[in-house]
Amino acid sequence: MRPVRANGRVMLAPQRFTENGPERFRLKPYAGRLLQFAAGVPLRPNGKYFTQHHRHHSFS
């Protein structure tokens, strides 16, 4: 699965990788959720960059 879909939803394929490091920085708790941004911050990532990232890493 793709780490983040073009619509901003976090998708994980836990069988493809192992997460290390502090729990608070891991992606697994965010699986299926939309990316969240601070209120009032207008900048958002463009979905085309996620699509390009997926292609580059053979996620799609």
Give domain limits for the chain. Answer: 1-37+46-60
pLDDT band at 3 (very low <50, low <70, confident <90, very high): low
pLDDT at 22: 92
CA distances to 11, 17, 49, 52, 54 from 59, in Å: 11, 13, 13, 10, 5
Its pTM surpasses 0.75: no
Q: Is 60 exceeded by the pLDDT of residue 1? A: no
Q: Taking 80 as the threshold, does the pLDDT of residue 2 lie above it?
A: no
Query: What would the pLDDT profile of 35-60 be if each residue is shown by its tens digit?
Result: 888 888 888 888 888 888 778 877 65
Select the more confidently predicted residue: 17 or 43.
43
CA distance 52 to 10: 16
